[in-house]
Amino acid sequence: MRCLLPLLLLAALPVWAEQPATQPLPAVPPPPPGMEAFDSALEPEVTIVKGEQETREEFRMGGKLYMVKVTPAVGRPYFLVDRHGDGIFIETDIEPRPTRPPMWIIHSW
Protein backbone atom coordinates (compact mmCIF):
# COMPACT_ATOMS: atom_id res chain seq x y z
CA MET A 1 0.00 0.00 0.00
CA ARG A 2 2.89 2.34 0.74
CA CYS A 3 4.35 1.80 -2.74
CA LEU A 4 1.06 2.37 -4.52
CA LEU A 5 0.74 6.09 -3.71
CA PRO A 6 4.18 7.10 -5.06
CA LEU A 7 3.56 5.02 -8.21
CA LEU A 8 0.24 6.76 -8.81
CA LEU A 9 1.85 10.17 -8.34
CA LEU A 10 4.65 9.21 -10.72
CA ALA A 11 2.13 8.07 -13.32
CA ALA A 12 0.20 11.37 -13.04
CA LEU A 13 3.33 13.52 -13.44
CA PRO A 14 3.14 13.80 -17.28
CA VAL A 15 -0.46 15.03 -17.02
CA TRP A 16 0.56 17.80 -14.61
CA ALA A 17 3.53 18.74 -16.81
CA GLU A 18 1.31 19.45 -19.83
CA GLN A 19 0.35 23.10 -20.05
CA PRO A 20 -2.41 24.44 -22.24
CA ALA A 21 -1.28 26.21 -25.39
CA THR A 22 -1.48 30.00 -25.07
CA GLN A 23 -2.88 32.08 -27.85
CA PRO A 24 -1.64 35.58 -28.71
CA LEU A 25 -3.84 38.49 -27.75
CA PRO A 26 -5.85 40.14 -30.51
CA ALA A 27 -4.52 43.35 -32.04
CA VAL A 28 -5.55 46.64 -30.44
CA PRO A 29 -8.32 48.27 -32.49
CA PRO A 30 -7.73 51.79 -33.86
CA PRO A 31 -9.20 54.73 -31.91
CA PRO A 32 -12.73 55.82 -32.86
CA PRO A 33 -13.11 58.66 -35.37
CA GLY A 34 -12.87 62.11 -33.88
CA MET A 35 -10.27 61.15 -31.29
CA GLU A 36 -7.28 63.46 -31.47
CA ALA A 37 -3.75 62.18 -31.44
CA PHE A 38 -1.69 62.65 -28.28
CA ASP A 39 -0.46 66.23 -28.00
CA SER A 40 2.49 66.69 -25.66
CA ALA A 41 1.84 70.45 -25.52
CA LEU A 42 -1.34 69.75 -23.52
CA GLU A 43 0.53 67.78 -20.85
CA PRO A 44 1.93 69.74 -17.89
CA GLU A 45 5.66 69.86 -17.24
CA VAL A 46 6.60 68.81 -13.72
CA THR A 47 9.89 69.90 -12.16
CA ILE A 48 10.88 68.33 -8.83
CA VAL A 49 13.19 70.39 -6.61
CA LYS A 50 14.49 68.57 -3.54
CA GLY A 51 15.82 70.54 -0.61
CA GLU A 52 16.86 69.72 2.93
CA GLN A 53 13.61 70.94 4.50
CA GLU A 54 11.10 70.32 1.70
CA THR A 55 10.43 68.90 -1.75
CA ARG A 56 8.66 71.11 -4.29
CA GLU A 57 6.88 69.88 -7.39
CA GLU A 58 6.43 72.76 -9.82
CA PHE A 59 3.73 72.34 -12.48
CA ARG A 60 4.02 74.38 -15.69
CA MET A 61 1.75 74.60 -18.71
CA GLY A 62 3.23 76.26 -21.78
CA GLY A 63 6.26 77.34 -19.71
CA LYS A 64 4.13 79.22 -17.15
CA LEU A 65 4.13 78.12 -13.50
CA TYR A 66 0.56 77.57 -12.28
CA MET A 67 0.81 75.23 -9.25
CA VAL A 68 3.36 74.15 -6.65
CA LYS A 69 3.03 71.11 -4.39
CA VAL A 70 5.17 71.50 -1.26
CA THR A 71 6.01 68.38 0.73
CA PRO A 72 7.84 69.33 3.95
CA ALA A 73 10.24 66.90 5.61
CA VAL A 74 7.88 66.87 8.60
CA GLY A 75 4.17 67.41 8.13
CA ARG A 76 1.51 67.15 5.47
CA PRO A 77 1.95 68.36 1.90
CA TYR A 78 0.08 71.44 0.69
CA PHE A 79 -0.59 73.12 -2.67
CA LEU A 80 -0.10 76.69 -3.82
CA VAL A 81 -2.09 77.65 -6.93
CA ASP A 82 -2.03 80.67 -9.25
CA ARG A 83 -5.78 80.82 -9.98
CA HIS A 84 -5.88 84.01 -12.04
CA GLY A 85 -2.54 83.75 -13.85
CA ASP A 86 -1.21 86.92 -12.20
CA GLY A 87 1.68 85.30 -10.31
CA ILE A 88 -0.01 85.44 -6.90
CA PHE A 89 -0.15 81.98 -5.35
CA ILE A 90 -2.83 81.04 -2.85
CA GLU A 91 -3.60 77.87 -0.94
CA THR A 92 -6.16 75.60 -2.52
CA ASP A 93 -9.32 76.40 -0.58
CA ILE A 94 -12.86 77.34 -1.59
CA GLU A 95 -12.31 81.01 -0.74
CA PRO A 96 -9.03 82.59 -1.84
CA ARG A 97 -6.88 83.64 1.06
CA PRO A 98 -3.38 85.05 1.21
CA THR A 99 -0.58 82.54 1.66
CA ARG A 100 0.04 81.73 5.28
CA PRO A 101 2.61 79.50 6.93
CA PRO A 102 1.60 75.85 7.19
CA MET A 103 0.37 74.60 10.57
CA TRP A 104 0.47 70.97 11.64
CA ILE A 105 -1.30 69.00 14.34
CA ILE A 106 1.23 68.17 17.05
CA HIS A 107 -0.99 65.96 19.19
CA SER A 108 -4.57 64.78 19.03
CA TRP A 109 -6.65 62.09 20.68
Q: Which CATH class is domain 41-91?
A: mainly beta
Q: What is the pLDDT of residue 95?
A: 39
Q: pTM, whole model, 2 decimals?
A: 0.48
User: How does pLDDT run across 49-67, given as a tens digit for each residue?
Assistant: 999 999 999 998 888 898 8
Which residue, among 101, 62, 96, has the nearest Cα to 82 in the 3D structure?
96
Is residue 70 classed as helix, strand or coil in its secondary structure? strand
Q: What is the domain partition of the chain in residue ranges? A: 41-91
Distances in Å between the Cα of 15 and the Cα atoms of 3, 20, 22, 25 are 20, 11, 17, 26
Between CA 9 and CA 76 the distance in angstroms is: 59
Share of the chain above pLDDT 70, in %: 72
